[in-house]
Amino acid sequence: MTHTDTIPHSRPLVAELDLEAVVSALESGQISQGPAVDKFEKALAEYIGQNKAAATNSGTAALHLALLALDVKEKDEIIIPSFVCSAVLNAVNHTGATPVIADIELLTYNLSVESVKKTLTQKTKAIIVPHMFGCPAEMNKFLELDIPIIEDCAQAIGATFKGQKVGSLGLLSIFSFYTTKVMACGEGGMVLSDAEDLILKIKDLREYDNKDDYLVRYNYKMTDIQAALGLSQLSSLNKFVARRKEIAALYFEEFKDCDFSLPVWKQGKEHIYYRFVIRIKDDISGYLEKFQQKGIICRRPVYKPLHLYLNLPGFPQTTEAWQKAISIPLYPSLTEEEIDRIIEAVKDIF
């Protein structure tokens, strides 16, 4: 695979195995939702440790349907963190419910349980808990609140919390297979649950055709092409995660004397380092430019927090993370030479 001089912030790892899987799906003649989707659902459910799964065409669609499965309606409140991509807010807004924004913990960038407790009301119908950047949220504390929890595992497939795979702890969990995610299918998503009735409801809502009754249903199906790629990527997932941890360990070693905060280090076992996020002492704007001049694309790990889109005051932890956190390239398709260049650039700049 050839690379230009610029090291991108993200790049999928597509191997020969993946190409063969996609070609095989195309040759089968069944390219829309079919047996490969069914197989992918079963394989992911088994890998995570959940009973049932429903594949969708995106992580946003997965989250939208997970909320509908819980019968979320107008006047219901859904708690979500501010430091998360706008897709989470979109999914809540698609249902007509009220999104209630909470702050994060600065150490992990995950939703703060204390902030959530302050926002709970009689109308709270569910809490969406993303495992940010591959770092598992403190699920035991959220589960104690006795409110339905939807785990957002879009950035954390393969991570574990107290020895259990993330995605196996909440009432429902959602996954994303967008190009830049841990497993890449171009687009795609999945909902997992042990509650069969919820998954049956989601499967009913994800397609509108050939139904005896009329409900507002959707066209949220995954194709067999994406599922074939997903199955192939899933077979490499443990290798992907191991490589991420390996690169992260190298970064921790190389950056230990740099003047910034490193990500939380969970002895290399629970966190999968979907993003390697450092937090510096100043505003990051000028630093992103410095990296770009060295041919390395670093980014804010969240483009813009939700409270800023919604003009809400407060959220000190989220604001600090947004102003001072930088995501440095870390993914399995990085070459040794690229890793050396990234390390050299970080040390040079800091």
Structure confidence by residue, pLDDT tens digits, 279-315: 999 999 899 999 999 999 999 999 999 999 999 999 9
List the structure tokens of 18: 């993946």
Please determine, for residue 328, whether its predicted confidence score (pLDDT) is greater than 80: yes
* pLDDT for position 241: 97
pLDDT digit string (tens) for 13-36? 999 999 999 999 999 999 999 999
Tokens of 236: 């490499």
Is there a domain that residue 188 lies in?
Answer: yes
* Mean of the per-residue pLDDT values of the chain: 96
Pair 213, 254 in one domain: no
Q: Is the pLDDT of residue 64 over 60?
A: yes
- Assigned domain for 329 exists: yes
Mean pLDDT over 121-144 rounds to 97
Q: Last residue of a domain, which of 212, 232, 252?
A: 232
* Structural domains in the chain (count): 2
Half-sphere exposure of 168 (CA within 13 A, CB side): 18
- Same domain flag for 250 and 265: yes
Give a yes or no: residue 8 inside a domain. Answer: no
| Residue 152, beta-bridge partner list | 130, 174
CATH at residue 20: 3.40.640.10
- Is-contact 84 129, C-beta < 8 A? no
Asked whether residue 1 carries a pLDDT value surpassing 60, the answer given is: no
Q: Are residues 250 and 283 in the same domain?
A: yes
- Domain shared by 256 and 162, yes or no: no
Does residue 168 fall inside a structural domain? yes
The per-residue pLDDT for range 192-231, each reduced to its tens digit, is 999 999 999 999 999 999 999 999 999 999 999 999 999 9
- On whether both 213 and 274 belong to a single domain, the answer is no
Domain boundary among 203, 232, 261: 232
Establish if 7 belongs to a structural domain. no
pLDDT at 177 over 50: yes
CA distance 148 to 132: 19
pLDDT at 2 over 50: no
Same domain, 38 and 58: yes
User: What span, in angstroms and rounded, lies between the C-alpha atoms of 63 and 286?
Assistant: 35
DSSP code, position 82 = S
Q: Is the pTM higher than 0.95? A: yes
Clarify whether residues 218 and 257 are in a common domain.
no
Q: Are residues 200 and 330 in the same domain?
A: no
**End position of a domain, from candidates 195, 217, 232:** 232
- Dump the DSSP string for 143-188: HTT-S-EEEE-TTTTT-EETTEETTSSSSEEEEE--TTSSS--SS-
Section 235-245 average pLDDT: 97
Q: Looking at the structure, tell me whether residues 25 and 87 fall in a common domain.
A: yes
Domain membership of residue 6 (yes or no) is: no
Are residues 244 and 184 both part of a single domain? no
On whether both 100 and 135 belong to a single domain, the answer is: yes
In a shared domain, residues 188 and 283: no
Rounded to the nearest 5 percent, the helix, strand and coil shares of the chain are 40, 15, 45
Among 13, 55, 49, CA closest to 36: 55
Q: What percent of the chain has pLDDT over 70?
A: 98
Q: What is the CATH number of the domain that holds 257?
A: 3.90.1150.10
Residue 300 lies in a domain: yes
161: containing domain: 16-232
Within 8 A by CB and 6+ apart from 211, the residues are: 204, 217
Please check whether residue 142 lies inside any domain of the structure.
yes
